[in-house]
Structure 1
C-alpha cells in the first residue's frame, strides 16, 4: 500500500506515483554508490564520519594497489616475492575478511538509508532483494578470496623447510626429488624414486636425471660424513642407493643436529654419483600424489605398453592398455609405481613422464580454480628443505621451466653398463654433457654412446627412445632427450 497522505494533501495519483519512483531510485542509487565506492552513500545521506573513514581507506587501498600493479609490471619479482611471504599472505587474508564484513555492513546501512518503509510494496521487495544479492555477492567473493589466500599460505608452509642452499652452482639450481612409496610412515626411509632436476638459474631450462635405486658400490661426495664412513664406496652387504637413508637412520650419531639424517646421507650419495651440488631436496609421498592428480582434474598420458593396476591377487587387478588416456589419481599412481611384470628402469622412465605431463598440463588458471583441493591434497604430500623465503625466486623460475622442453638422462643400462659397479667418472661426464647440451654448448659427448631405438606410436608416427631391456623399449632412458618424445 502507498503511504497515507497527510490531511489536506491535494497530490494527484500521478504525482504520488512519481514521488514513489523518485524514492525508489534514490534507494537504489545509494546501494549502487556503496557497491562502486564504499562509504559514498553514508557521506551524502548518513553518518558522514563513517563515510569519510570508509572512503579514505578505499582510496588508500586503490592507490596502493595501482602502485603495486605498476611496479609489478616493471618488476615481476616483487609480486612473486610478496606472493611467497607467509606474513604477507596472512595480512592479505585478514584484510579480505575485514573488508568483506565492512562492505557487508555498509551495504546494509545503505539499504537503511533508502528508507524502505516509505516505499510501496513492490519497490520495497525489489530493493531488499537487490540489497541481499549485492551484500552476499560482495561478501562471498571477498571471503572466498580470503579462503584461496589462506589455502596458498598453508600449501606454502607445508612445502617449505629449512637448510636449503639458495646459491646457484655453476649457474644452476639442482633439486633432488625423492618419492616415498608407502605413505607418511616412510618419510626418510628407502625412497622409491630418485631424480635430480637441474634447472638453469636464468632460463629455467631443465635436465631431469634419473638414478636407479639399486645402484651399488658408488662413492659419496668427497669429504662428506658418508664418504668418511665408506671411503671405498657403499660396499656393505645389500647396500643399494635407496638403502642409504636406512643406514643413516641406524647411525644417527654421525649426523648431530640433523633432522633428516637419512635424506642428508642420500644427498651426499647423489652428489657423489652425479658430481652436482644439491641445492634443495623434496620428498614426495606417492600415496598423496594420487590426491593431487584428482585435485587438478587428471593427467593426460600416452601409455606406451600395458601397465598393471594392482597386483594379481587384488580384486581390482587390471591393466592400462596402450593408448592415449586421461588418468585419474588412482590410475596415475599405478602408472608411476607399478612393479608387477615390470622393473625399476621402466618405472623410472614412467615417473619422469608423469612429472613432465603434470608440469606441462597444470596451468596457473587450474591452480587458482582448484587451489583449495590442491592445498588439502598437498598437506601431507611434500616435505622439503626449501625455505619459504626462497620460493620468491624459485616460482618465477618454475614458470620459465614450464614453457620449455625438459631433457632427460637416466643412469641405467645400457648407458651405465653395470649399476652394481658403476663407472663414476663416466657417469659424471654424461651428466655434464647432458647439462651442456641443454644449455646449447655441448660438443661431442665423451665415452661410449648408445644408438636409440625407434618405436611406432599408435598414430603411426615414429618416436625415438633408448632401449632399456626387453620390457622398456620405447622409453627414453639413456642419452639426454626431449622427454616429451618418450612419453
Structure 2
C-alpha cells in the first residue's frame, strides 16, 4: 500500500493525521510532476527556465531528499502496523523482505532523482557561468562555435574550427558560416586592442593566421586589462569585423574531449560520402571510416572531423560542420534525460562558454526551432576567396546573402546535396563542396587559395546545409 499510496497504511490502521498528510504530500508531488510535463509540452522554454534556475534546483533537491526520508519512515511504520512479531516466522520473513525491497526501490528512485538535480545544478553553475546577457541584433542571435586543440606538437590552444551561427530569434531559421583556420590579414574593429596593434590586419607574418589570433591575444593578456579571456575577445572582434555581425555568445569545445562527448550522447549518425583514412603520426594508415550511412562512436567521429589525409583543410571543415548539424538534428530531450549525468560530467570538462544560466531557456528555444528548419550555409574557402589575401567585401556580401536566404520561405530547389552532385565533375569550392559531408569538397590543397572564384561560383556559395551529413 505504501509503495503505491504513501500514507494509506497509516490512514487505515495507524495515525490518520499522518496518513492524510502523507497522501496530500504524495498528491502534491504527483501534481507538480504532471504540471511540469504539461509545461514542457506547451512551453519548453518556460520549463527550461524553471529547471535551469539554481534556486529552484536547490529547493527541488532538498525537497526530494525530505520526501525520500519521509517515505522510508512510512514504510517502517507500515511494517510496524502489520505487527510482524505476531506472525509466523515464514510470514514475518516474507513481510520484512517485501517491505525492505519496496522501500529500497522507492527511496532509491527519489534519491537518484535528487542526485540528478544536484548534478544539473552543479553543471549549469560551472558551464554557464557567464554574467552578461546580450540582446539580439536586428532580431538575430549570433553564436560563435569554436573547436580548439592543444596538441603536443603545438604551442598554446588554437581554435582550428570556427563557425558563426546566426539564428532568427522568432523563427529559428539559421545561417552557418565557416572560416578556415589559415585565413590571413584578418581585420579588427577600429578602437579595439587588436586594431591598435594591427591597424592593417593581422599581418605579422606567415604564422599570423586566423586561428593564431586566440593564442596571440592570450600571450599578450597584459594588453587586455580586466579581460578574463582575451583570446575569445580578439577572435570575436575578428569575426565581427569580417562579417559585420556582432557575436552574442561563444561556445568552445576542447577537441581533446570531443570523443567523450560524442560517446556520452550515444554516438552520432552521419552519411559518410567517401572513405576517410585514420592515420598515425607518421602518416601510416591505421584504419578507414567507410563510406555510407553510419553511427560513429566518439573515436571515429573525432577522426571523421579531424582527418586531413588525402584531402584538404577545407574538406575537414565541411565534415566538422556536418557533424555539428547531425548532432543538432539527432539530440532530443529523451536522449539528454536518459544520459544526462554522463553528458553533464563530460560537458564540464570539454565545454566553455559565456552563455549565462539565465539565457539557457532562450538558447534551448532557439535550438528547438532551428532543429525544425533547413540551415543555410557558407564556407569561406577557395575559390570563393583567397586565404592569403582575402577580399573581405566578398565575405560580407555572402553573409548578407545567406541571412537573406535564411529568411526566405523554404521552396523546392537544389539543396547542398544536389548542388554538390552538380559540381562533382569539376572543382568544388566554397559553396557546394562544403555541403558534401565527405571528402569531395574543395580540391585546393594549398594553404593560400588560388583565386577569388567566378560570379557563378560565388552565387553557389550560399546553399542549404540541411541534413546532408545526417542519416537520421
Q: TM-score range by the shorter chain?
A: 0.7 to 0.9
Length-normalised TM-score, structure 1: 0.82
Residue 187 and residue 194 in structure 1: after superposition, are their counterparts in 2 closer, same or farther (change >3 A)? farther
The verdict on how the C-alpha distance between 1:173 and 1:433 changes in structure 2, with shifts beyond 3 A counting, is same
Matches within 5 A, 1:75-94: 75-94=43-62
Match of 2:320 among 351, 364, 377: 351
Rate the CA distance shift 1:70–1:317 in 2: closer, same or farther, 3 A.
Answer: closer
For residues 365 and 409 of structure 2, the distance between their equivalents in structure 1, rounded to whole angstroms, comes to 24
1:54, distance to aligned residue in structure 2 (A): 3.2
Counterpart check, 1:473 vs 2:440? yes
Corresponding residue number in structure 2 for 1:37 = 5
Corresponding residue number in structure 1 for 2:114: 146
CA-CA distance at 1:301 after TM superposition: 1.3
Distance 2:70 2:172 in 1: 43
* Aligned counterparts of 1:155 and 1:395: Cα–Cα separation in 2: 16
Structure 2 residue 397 is matched with structure 1 residue 429 = yes
Is this contact kept in 2: 1:39–1:50, CA < 8 A? yes
Structure 2 alignment gaps of length 5 or more:
411-417, 425-429, 443-456
Which of residues 132, 140, 152 in structure 2 aligns to 1:172? 140
Name which of structure 1's ranges 188-197 and 322-331 shifts more when overlaid on structure 2: 188-197
CA distance in 2: counterparts of 1:452 and 1:197, whole angstroms? 21
State how 1:231-310 maps to structure 2 within 5 Å.
231-238=199-206, 239-310=208-279
Question: CA–CA distance in 2 between the matches of 1:178 and 1:349?
Answer: 14
Gaps of at least 5 residues in structure 1 are 1-31, 443-450, 458-463
How far 1:101 sits from its partner (Å)? 2.0
Total equivalences in the alignment = 438
1:454 paired residue number? 421
Q: Distance in 2 between matches of 1:204 and 1:229?
A: 38
TM-score, normalised relative to structure 2: 0.84
Corresponding residue for 1:19?
Answer: none
From 307, 310, 315, the counterpart of 1:338: 307
Task: Please tell me whether residue 214 in structure 1 is matched to residue 182 in structure 2.
Answer: yes
Which has the larger displacement, 431-440 or 126-135?
126-135
2:468 is paired with a residue whose SS is helix
Residue 185 and residue 65 in structure 1: after superposition, are their counterparts in 2 closer, same or farther (change >3 A)? farther
SS of the aligned residue for 2:159 comes to coil
Deviation at residue 237 of structure 1 after TM alignment: 1.1
CA distance in 2, matches of 1:161, 1:365: 25
1:194 counterpart = 2:162: yes
Once the two structures are TM-superposed, the CA of residue 47 in structure 1 deviates from its matched residue by 3.8
Query: 2:423 & 2:200 partners in 1: Cα distance?
Result: 45
Q: Aligned in 2, Cα 1:236/1:483: closer, same or farther, shift over 3 Å?
A: farther
Corresponding residue SS for 1:175 = strand
Q: Secondary structure at the match of 2:388?
A: coil
> Structure 2 vs 1, CA of residues 385 and 291 (structure 1 numbering), >3 Å: closer, same or farther?
same
Q: 1:123-162 alignment to 2 at 5 Å?
A: 123-162=91-130
Q: Distance in 2 between matches of 1:315 and 1:426?
A: 39
CA contact (8 A) 2:216 2:231 kept: yes
1:412–1:257 Cα change, 3 Å: same
Deviation digits for residues 229-281 of structure 1 (CA, Å, limit 9, x no counterpart): 22221111121100111211232222110111111100100101111110001
Larger Cα-atom Rg: 1
Which is further off, 147-156 or 183-192?
Answer: 183-192
Instruction: Say if 2:66 is the partner of 1:98.
Output: yes
Aligned to 1:367: 336
Pair 1:325-2:273 in alignment:
no
Structure 1, 240-249 or 36-45: larger mean CA deviation: 36-45
CA shift, 1:76, in A, is 4.3
Question: Could you tell me which residue of structure 1 aligns to residue 196 of structure 2?
Answer: 228
Aligned counterparts of 2:234 and 2:94: Cα–Cα separation in 1: 70
Q: Cα–Cα, structure 1 residues 389 and 187, in superposed 2: closer, same or farther, change >3 Å?
A: farther
Pairing partner for 1:111 from 57, 79, 87: 79
CA positional deviation for 1:149: 1.9
Secondary structure, counterpart of 1:366 in structure 2 = helix
Residue pair 2:163, 2:177 contacting (<8 A) in 1 also: yes
Q: Tell whether 2:372 aligns with 1:403.
A: yes
Map Cα deviations across residues 99-122 of structure 1 (whole Å, 9 max, x no partner).
112201211210111112223444
Question: Would you say the 8 A contact 2:264–2:342 is kept in 1?
Answer: yes
Deviation at 1:365, TM superposition (A): 1.0
Distance 1:86 1:185, change over 3 A: farther
